[in-house]
Structure 1
């Protein structure tokens, strides 16, 4: 959220300042890592005077906590919303096509923006290493797994299938699998390797799929 030069700081509410700084911090972290996200650099990226920072956050650590709690989960929701699947209902075969298209598209989105991958990974590690941010890290993870679990439930209902374990548990497993996709790419910079992992994840996920029509 960037404000034009004509909009003065006096017109911005505290919540607008917070939102602008959160978005700017996430972008800076994607470009320069957590350590590079100084308050000065974040304020410059948000086109906001450094003196205004403490109107919105009491510290840099408080800002990073807000990024972890808000920006990262919101980014995941946006990414899922960008995935358009036109797979018609079709039982187990349709479910496999849905999973394949979804994870390949998700993988492609991640590969197109390596900074986004690095930001998420570095924020998770940073939260783990700083006790005051661990609750924010847990919230980030729970929001992500809940979002994925809902998507899995919708997909199963569409194809007349079910999952052999609770969607919430499966969401946790799938989030962990997407982390594997991220690391495969970040460590090799090889898109072919990342896509091989994607296809393996689809095969693994389908071991939890059940055809409800066959059971009926």
Structure 2
């Protein structure tokens, strides 16, 4: 284990962190529990990460990246596709992921709430959502390019609205397990976002 490359060690610790939080909640995510899950000695965590909070932040980013992979697959469906349909396919992909692995999404929410608690007295800032905003803004750019549209509002501003509604879809589904309603929420979000786009200007324009 001591010869494991640093990046692999970090990935293993992130995977162990998510497994622990899924199983035991954020309260169970102690240093000892995480390294035990990863099959590493106690000092391994602080060799790979500056602190437990840095590890938890990396776990948040890992889930965000997993969600991005699922959401971006339908976005490149072919130039000229209807923007609302392209966006709906991406958000519905996320809802399907939520239904498939609810414990992982619940763990993500716990990690986000923990990160928010750490900055209760801080000023305005993206906090733990920084990567989510960046990822969603990039996905919105991809969707618009696929549909031949341009956004009339900054994609990052739209991304913040999307994150807020996605969190609502997630927490509501975790409470009621109403997948049909969650999919309807996904389509509503897609329509709301598409309302802030217009056709790509031509050279004559």
Q: TM-score with structure 2 length normalisation?
A: 0.82
Choose which of 178, 184, 202 in structure 1 pairs with 2:190.
202
The aligned counterpart of 1:172 is 160
The aligned counterpart of 2:18 is 26
Is 1:186 matched up with 2:174?
Answer: yes
Instruction: Give the Å deviation of 1:88.
Output: 3.2
Instruction: Give the Å deviation of 1:212.
Output: 3.1
Question: 1 CA distance for matches of 2:48 and 2:168?
Answer: 35
Question: 1 CA distance for matches of 2:84 and 2:74?
Answer: 15
Contact 1:76 1:144 in 2 (8 A): no
Instruction: Show CA shifts across 1:6-27 (max 9, x none).
Output: xxx3312454433321221022
Aligned residues: 203
2:28 is paired with a residue whose SS is coil
Is 1:71 matched up with 2:59?
Answer: no
Instruction: Give the Å deviation of 1:90.
Output: 2.9
2:79 is paired with a residue whose SS is coil
Instruction: Give the Å deviation of 1:86.
Output: 6.0
Question: 1 CA distance for matches of 2:50 and 2:15?
Answer: 17
5+ residue gaps, structure 2, are none
The aligned counterpart of 2:79 is 89
Coordinate RMSD, CA, aligned: 2.9
5+ residue gaps, structure 1, are 1-8
Alignment of 1:114-153 (within 5 A): 114-131=102-119, 138=126, 140-153=128-141
Q: List 4+ stretches of structure 1 deviating above 4 A.
A: 213-216
155 and 41 in structure 1: CA distance in 2 versus 1, 3 angstrom threshold: same
Question: 1 CA distance for matches of 2:13 and 2:111?
Answer: 16
206 and 85 in structure 1: CA distance in 2 versus 1, 3 angstrom threshold: closer
Instruction: Show CA shifts across 1:151-170 (max 9, x none).
Output: 21122122221222111111
